[in-house]
Structure 1
Amino acid sequence: MHNKLIAILFMSFGLNLISAQTFKITGKVVESKNKQPIEYATISLLHTTSQNPITGTITSQDGSFTLKTNDTNFYIEVSFIGFKSKTFKDFKITNNKIDLMTIVLFEDNEELDEVVIRAEKSQMEFKLDKRIFNVGADLSSTGASALEVLNNIPSVNVNIEGEISLRGSQGVQILINGKPSVLASAEGNALGSITADMIEKIEVITNPSAKYDAEGTSGIINIVIKKSEKKGLNGSATLNVGIPNSNSFGLSVNKRTEKFNLFSQLGFGIRTYPSETASINRDLVNNNTISSTGESEFNEKFSNILIGTDYHINDLNVVTLSASYAYEVEDQNSTADFIQNDASNTITDRWLREEKTEATNPKLRYELQYKKDFKRHKEQSLLFSALGSSFRKDQFSDFENTTLIGIIEGFKQKTRTDYKLEDYTFKLDYTHPFLEKFTIETGSQYVINSVSNDFSVSNFVNGDWVNNPDLTNVFDFGQKVLGIYSTAAFEGDKWGLKLGLRLENTDINTLLETTNISNQNNYTNLFPSAHTSYKVNDNFSLQAGYSKRIRRPRLRELNPFSNIRNDFNISTGNPDLQPEFTDSYEITSIHKIGKASLNLSLYNRYTVDVIERITSFINNISVSKPENVGTNQSTGFEANGKYMPANWFTINGDFNIIYFKRKGHFEMTSFDFKGNRWSTSLTAKFKLPAQFDLEISGDYRSKFITVQSEIADNLFADLGLRKKIFNGKTILNLSIRDVFASRIDQTTTSQPEFYLFNSRQRGRFITFGISYGFGKGEAMEFSGQRR
C-alpha cells in the first residue's frame, strides 16, 4: 500500500495583497496516538472560491514540510490515507511566513478497518503447498535471533537446546532462501546469528512436494532473508547486555549501487549458560540407588564476519559471492554431588565429580549463486548454487572424582576430541510457467558430507595417564546424496493441483579406524507427492496433500562414542542404524472471520523403522543407544489463529494434539503401546502510549510417553518490552525469557528392573539491547546474536 494520497490545501485571506508577494508555509505532521511523524502526508493549497488546487507538496521523513506561493486567496488542507483530513482557513501571517506548527492527524476508523484487513492478509499467506509468515516488527521478533522468531510461529517450537520441532516432531529440514546453508546446520547452531529484522518471511511446509529434499519427516522451514532495495549506504549497530552474561555487539553495513550490492556483517560477544541438573539411578533388583545434583556454567566467546556481493550483470542475471568466518572459544565448569544409598536408604558413599572443559571452534562458509530470470514470464527462473562449509572442534576435558564418604576411591579422567566436518551442496533448479496457470519445475541436488571424529579417554593410574582402548577410536563418516526431481502444477483462480516425483540415491560409509570396523549402506528410493487446494471464497480455503519422506540417522546417532560427563548415565550412537520412512497425509483449512484468522489441520503419518533410544541398565549404569524399533502411526489435529480486536491489541494462539500408536519388538521385548501429547501457546501484544510495545506469551507442553520413558510437562512464560526513540531509528528492547524459571526438562524411565530420573533447568534470561540504524538502514538489522 503506497503511503501517498493527493489531498487539497487552501488558505483564505480577508486582505488584498500584492501579487508579487511570496508566502512561505511551514509545519510538521504527526499522528495522534504516539505523536510520531507522518511521512508522505499531502499538503495542498486550494483556491478559496473555486476550490481548485494551486500547488502542494508532501512531508519528509520527519513529518516536516515547506511550501511557497504568490497567491493571496487560498486555504490549506492536510491529509493522509487512514487519517481524517485537517483544513486551515484562519491562520497568522508574520513577515510573509505562515507557521502551522505541529499538525496532529487523527485516525479515520472506517479507512483504518480496511487497512487492518489488508495488513492481516499480508502477514499470513496460504499457498498451494505452504503457509507463508511475513515477519514484521513484532516485539517477539525485534532484537531476537531466528531461533526466537521461529519459536513464535504457530506449529513451530524451539526447545532450550535450540532443537527445532514442527508440530511436535524434530525431523525438520531448515533452508535459507530455498536451499541448504551452513547457517541452518544443527551442528553449528548458527541460526542464532540471523536476527529477526534480517528475515523477510518464513515458509512453513508441513507436507513438502518432490521439489524439496525428502529428508525431514515433519516438514520444511524455509527462512527467506531480506534483499534491501535501498541504494546508497545502509547499516545498523546493536549492543546487547544480559543476565546471565549475554553481551554482544553487532554491525551490519550494506552499500548498493546500480550494479553491485556489497554487504558485510561483524559480530562478537560473550554468553554464559548456567544449568542445574539432577539424576537418580535405582537398581530395583538389588535395591540400591545412585543420585546426583549438579551445577554447571558454560561460557562462550565468539566473533564472526561475513562479506559478500550481489553483481547484477543485467536486469535478468545476478551472481552472488559470499564468505563468512566465525571463531568460538568455549569453557565449561561443572560440579556434581553423587550419593549412593543401600537397600535401607543409608548413605554408603558420597563423592564430588568436577569437570573443566575447553574448546575452540573455527567455522568457514563460502557460497556461489547464479540466478537467471527470463523476459517471457516473471516466475520463470534458473538457479544454481554451490555451498561449501567446514567446522572444526578441538576440545579437552578434565574430570576428577573426590571421595567424601565411603570406600570408593577418587580418580581422574581426561578426554580429547578432534572433530572435523566438511559439507558441500550443489543445487540446480529450473521453473517454467506456461499457459498462464501451469508451471513445471525440475532440478537436481548433490550433497557431500564428510566427518572425522578422533576421540580418546585416558585414566590417571599410578602417576601416569593411561589410554582407555574401549572408549578411544577414530570415527569417520561419509554420506553422499544425489537427488533429481520434477513437478507439474496447475493453479487457477479457485482450484489448484501439484504432482511431483523425486528420486534419491544415498551412499553412507562409516569406519572405526582403530578397530577397523566399517559399515556401508547404499539405497535408492522414489518419493512421490501430490497437493491440491480449493478456494471456496475470499475468506475460506482448503488444502490437501500427500508426500513420502525419509529421515536419515543423524551423525550423533551413528557415532558410537559416549559422553562421560555423568559416567552413570551414558549416551552412545549406533553405526548400524537404518533410515525412517514416512507416508504423510494432511488436510488444512484457512478461515478469515472479520479481524480474525484461523487455521485448522488434520494430519496422519505412518512411519516404519522408527528410531528410538533404548536404555539398558547394568551395575547402576544406564546406557542409552538408538535402535530401529517397529512402526508408528500418528494422527493429529492442529488449530492456530490470530485476532486483533483493536489496533493496540493482538492475540495469537496455537493448539496441537497428536494421538499415536506404536508397534515393535526389540530383543524379545514388545514395545506396543498407545499414547498422546498436546501443546498450546498464547501470545498477547499491546501497543502502549509513548511508543512502548509489550508482549506476554505463555506455553504449555503436556507430558507424553516414549518406548521406555515419560517426558514431563512444561509450563513457562516470556515477556518483552520495546521503546522506539528518534523517529524509530533507535530501539530499546528488554526481554525476559522463562519469567518464572519454570521451564524444566524432566525424563522418567520406569522398567521392571530399574528406575531412572533426569532433570535439567537453565533458568531465567534477561537481556537489554539498544540498536541504531544509520544511512537508510533499519535498527536491529544485525545484532551479532547467536545461540
Structure 2
Amino acid sequence: MTVGFSANGNYNSGEVNSNNLGNSYNGQSQSTGTFNTVADNSPHRENNSINLNYRHKLDTAGKELAIDLDYANFTSEEIQNNLTNYFDVNGAQAKSPYQLRGNLNGSLSIKSFRVDYQQQIRAIKTKLEMGVKSSWVKSDNDVQFYDLSNGGNVLDANKSNHFIYDENINAAYLNASRSFKKLSVQLGLRAENTNADGFQLTDQSRFDRNYTQLFPSAYVGYKFTENSDLGISLSRRINRPSYRQLNPFKVFLDPLTYSTGNPYLKPELTNSFELTHTYQQKYITKLGYSKTTDNILTVLSPDAQPNSVIQTNRNLAEFDYFNFSFGFPITLGKWLNSTNNALVYYGLYSGNLVNTDLKNSRVAFNFSSNNILKISPTVTGEVIGNYQSRNYYGPLDIKGNWGLTVGLQKQLLAKKASLKLSVSDVFYTTKIDAYTILTGYGEQFYQSRDSRVATLSFSYRFGKSQVSSSKRAGAADEEKRRAG
C-alpha cells in the first residue's frame, strides 16, 4: 500500500508592452491618416494545486486499486493601459488622444477525484481496467474598462463584462486487452456526462448544456516477424475548449482590433482511424484519417461594432484530415544520430463561418529533423530543422516557412555537469505571412515574433545518476491543462 502527497505552486508577474501602428481609410479606399496605440499591460498570475493519492495491490494476481483527490486554484489580475494618438495624412494630430484602462480579475477553482481498478482474468487471459472520475470547475471573471480621455474616468459598458462559468463532468470507463501469440487486441468504452452553466451578469444572458456521450476505442495489432508489425486503431474523442478560450476577457491592440474568448464555444468531436507499420522497431509508417465536427478555430473577422475587428475562437461545422507520415532514424558511425519525420496531409475545412460558405482544402507537407553530433567524448552538437509548406487554417491561407535551431553542449566535472549554448531560429525565418477572405472582409496577416533567441544554460546532477520516479497523472490533469 502506498499513500502519496504532492503540492505545486507558481507565481508569475511582469510587464507586457506593445506598439501598434494602423492606417485609416475612407469609403474610396483613400488614406485619411494613421493612428498609433501604445499598450502597457501588467499581468499577475498565481496557481496552486494539491494531490492526495492512494495505491494498493490487492493480491499477487494483478488486482490493484488507485484513488486520486485533486484541488487546484488559479487567480489572475491584470491592468491594461492603452493610449492612442490620431494623425492626419500630414502627420499632424487629428483629434484628441483616446486613453483606455482595463481592470481584469479572474479566479478558477478545480476539484476532482478518480478511482481506478485493474485485474487479470486468468480464465480468459484478459486484462481488465475500469474507473470513474468526477470534476467540478468554477470560473469567475470580472472585466472593467474605463475611458480616461480628457481627464475622465467613465465605465465603458460595451467593453466591460462579468462572466461566471460552472462545469461538472462525470465519467466512467472500461478497457479490456488480450495478447495472443502474434495478435493483440484492445477494446474500450468511456461514457461522459457533462453539465455546464454560463452566466453573463452584464446583459443577464445564460446558457445551460447537459448531455451524455459515449467514446468507444479499439486497437488490433499483428506481429508478422520479429522485425515487422502492423497496428490498426479506431477511436472517438472529445477536445473541450480551454477556460481561457471560454473567458470573454478582452485584450485591445488598438481602437479597431481586439481579441476575446467565446463563452458559447462548443467542444469538438473527432472520429479517427490510423494504420501503423513498424519495421525493426525504428522505421514507422502511418496512414490516417479523422473527421472533426464543431472544429475550434481562431478567426479574425468584422465585429458587430462598425469598422472594428475581433479575434476569437469559433466552431466550424467539419474538418476532414487525411495524413501519411514516415519516421526514420539515420545513424552514421558513432558521431551522428538523426531522427526524421516526413508528413504529407490533406485538410478540408467546410461549413459556414462568419456568413461565409467555407470549403478550403490543400495538400501540404511538413518535414522535421533532429540531429545530434558527437564531436568528442564530452562535446556534442545539435541541429534541429523544420519546414512547413503552404497550408490552410480554416479561412486563413498561410505561406510556407522554415526554421533552424543549433546548439553546442560541453560536459564538465566527470560528466556530472553540463554547459549548453543554443540559438533558436538562427536565420529568423519562422514568420507567419497569411491572408484571409470572408464575405465583405479581407485581411493580410503578417506576424513576426522574437523567435531568434540565444540561451546559455548550466546544469549539475546531484546524487545517483539513476533515480526512480513515481510521478503519476493526477485526477485534475486534464482540467489544469485547460486552465492554460
Which residue of 269, 294, 298 maps to 1:609? 294
Q: Residue 415 in 1 paired to residue 102 in 2?
A: yes
What is the aligned partner in structure 2 of residue 549 from structure 1?
A: 237
Which residue of 160, 166, 177 maps to 1:472? 160
| Whole-angstrom distance in 1 between the partners of 2:145 and 2:406 | 44
Alpha-carbon displacement from aligned partner over 1:134-158 (angstroms, at most 9, x marks no partner)? xxxxxxxxxxxxxxxxxxxxxxxxx
What is the aligned partner in structure 2 of residue 350 from structure 1?
A: 34
What is the aligned partner in structure 2 of residue 599 from structure 1?
A: 284
What is the aligned partner in structure 1 of residue 320 from structure 2?
A: 633
Amino acid at match of 1:337: L
Change (3 A) 1:476 1:398: same
Q: Describe the SS at the equivalent of 1:774.
A: coil
Q: Residue 402 in 1 paired to residue 85 in 2?
A: yes
Q: Describe the SS at the equivalent of 2:252.
A: coil
Change (3 A) 1:729 1:426: same
Amino acid at match of 1:734: L
Which residue of 20, 29, 39 maps to 1:336? 20
Which residue of 400, 404, 408 maps to 1:713? 400
- Larger displacement relative to structure 2 (498-507 or 652-661): 652-661
Residue 646 of structure 1 deviates from its aligned partner by: 1.4
| Whole-angstrom distance in 2 between the partners of 1:505 and 1:382 | 23
Q: Residue 677 in 1 paired to residue 361 in 2?
A: no
| Whole-angstrom distance in 1 between the partners of 2:205 and 2:22 | 36
Which residue of 744, 747, 762 maps to 2:434? 747
Which residue of 183, 189, 205 maps to 1:495? 183
Q: Describe the SS at the equivalent of 1:389.
A: strand
Residue 626 of structure 1 deviates from its aligned partner by: 3.3
Which residue of 347, 364, 373 maps to 1:660? 347
| Whole-angstrom distance in 2 between the partners of 1:675 and 1:732 | 44
What is the aligned partner in structure 1 of residue 117 from structure 2?
A: 430
Q: Describe the SS at the equivalent of 1:609.
A: strand
What is the aligned partner in structure 2 of residue 323 from structure 1?
A: 7
> Equivalences for 1:427-576 in 2 at 5 Å?
427-435=114-122, 437-576=125-264
Which residue of 450, 459, 463 maps to 1:771? 459
Alpha-carbon displacement from aligned partner over 1:188-214 (angstroms, at most 9, x marks no partner)? xxxxxxxxxxxxxxxxxxxxxxxxxxx
Change (3 A) 1:731 1:380: farther
| Whole-angstrom distance in 1 between the partners of 2:109 and 2:249 | 20
Contact 2:171–2:190, Cα closer than 8 Å, also in 1 = yes
Amino acid at match of 2:340: G
Q: Residue 691 in 1 paired to residue 378 in 2?
A: yes
Q: Residue 388 in 1 paired to residue 71 in 2?
A: yes
Contact 1:368–1:386, Cα closer than 8 Å, also in 2 = yes
Change (3 A) 1:498 1:568: same
Contact 2:72–2:111, Cα closer than 8 Å, also in 1 = yes
Residue 656 of structure 1 deviates from its aligned partner by: 1.4
Change (3 A) 1:319 1:359: same
Amino acid at match of 1:498: Q
| Whole-angstrom distance in 2 between the partners of 1:751 and 1:488 | 48
> Equivalences for 1:1-150 in 2 at 5 Å?
none
Contact 1:734–1:767, Cα closer than 8 Å, also in 2 = yes
Residue 682 of structure 1 deviates from its aligned partner by: 1.1
What is the aligned partner in structure 1 of residue 448 from structure 2?
A: 760
Once superposed, which parts of structure 1, at least 4 consecutive aligned residues long, lie more than 4 Å away? Answer: 341-347
Contact 2:47–2:74, Cα closer than 8 Å, also in 1 = yes
| Whole-angstrom distance in 1 between the partners of 2:298 and 2:463 | 53
Contact 1:460–1:466, Cα closer than 8 Å, also in 2 = yes
| Whole-angstrom distance in 1 between the partners of 2:299 and 2:455 | 39
Contact 2:301–2:441, Cα closer than 8 Å, also in 1 = no
Alpha-carbon displacement from aligned partner over 1:21-40 (angstroms, at most 9, x marks no partner)? xxxxxxxxxxxxxxxxxxxx
| Whole-angstrom distance in 2 between the partners of 1:610 and 1:402 | 39
Amino acid at match of 2:291: Y
What is the aligned partner in structure 2 of residue 365 from structure 1?
A: 49
What is the aligned partner in structure 2 of residue 289 from structure 1?
A: none
| Whole-angstrom distance in 2 between the partners of 1:668 and 1:396 | 35
Report 1 or 2 for greater relative contact order, CA contacts < 8 Å, sequence distance ≥ 6.
Answer: 1
What is the aligned partner in structure 2 of residue 82 from structure 1?
A: none
Contact 1:497–1:533, Cα closer than 8 Å, also in 2 = yes
> Equivalences for 1:578-589 in 2 at 5 Å?
578-589=266-277
- Larger displacement relative to structure 2 (318-327 or 502-511): 318-327
Q: Describe the SS at the equivalent of 2:4.
A: strand
Contact 1:385–1:428, Cα closer than 8 Å, also in 2 = yes
Contact 1:745–1:761, Cα closer than 8 Å, also in 2 = no
| Whole-angstrom distance in 1 between the partners of 2:135 and 2:254 | 36
Q: Describe the SS at the equivalent of 2:7.
A: strand
Residue 753 of structure 1 deviates from its aligned partner by: 3.3
| Whole-angstrom distance in 1 between the partners of 2:315 and 2:437 | 21
Contact 1:471–1:561, Cα closer than 8 Å, also in 2 = no
| Whole-angstrom distance in 1 between the partners of 2:73 and 2:362 | 41
| Whole-angstrom distance in 2 between the partners of 1:557 and 1:392 | 16
Q: Describe the SS at the equivalent of 2:137.
A: strand
Contact 2:19–2:38, Cα closer than 8 Å, also in 1 = yes
Residue 719 of structure 1 deviates from its aligned partner by: 1.0
| Whole-angstrom distance in 2 between the partners of 1:506 and 1:419 | 23
Alpha-carbon displacement from aligned partner over 1:731-775 (angstroms, at most 9, x marks no partner)? 111111111121113331134633312323223111111222233
> Equivalences for 1:187-266 in 2 at 5 Å?
none
Q: Percent identity?
A: 23
| Whole-angstrom distance in 2 between the partners of 1:660 and 1:574 | 25
Q: Describe the SS at the equivalent of 2:96.
A: coil
| Whole-angstrom distance in 1 between the partners of 2:206 and 2:226 | 58
Change (3 A) 1:373 1:566: farther
| Whole-angstrom distance in 1 between the partners of 2:36 and 2:15 | 20
Residue 580 of structure 1 deviates from its aligned partner by: 2.0
| Whole-angstrom distance in 2 between the partners of 1:533 and 1:778 | 33
Gaps of 5+ in 1: 1-316, 782-786
Residue 346 of structure 1 deviates from its aligned partner by: 6.4
TM-score, scaled to structure 2: 0.89
| Whole-angstrom distance in 1 between the partners of 2:178 and 2:69 | 30
Which residue of 704, 714, 724 maps to 2:391? 704
Residue 611 of structure 1 deviates from its aligned partner by: 3.0
| Whole-angstrom distance in 1 between the partners of 2:97 and 2:33 | 11
Larger Rg: 1
Amino acid at match of 1:604: Y
Residue 375 of structure 1 deviates from its aligned partner by: 4.3
Gaps of 5+ in 2: 470-483
Superposition CA RMSD, Å = 2.4
Change (3 A) 1:621 1:676: farther
Alpha-carbon displacement from aligned partner over 1:348-406 (angstroms, at most 9, x marks no partner)? 323321111112222211111111224424x5422111121111111101111123435
| Whole-angstrom distance in 1 between the partners of 2:67 and 2:153 | 52
Contact 1:527–1:547, Cα closer than 8 Å, also in 2 = yes
Amino acid at match of 1:550: I
> Which of the two has greater strand per residue?
2
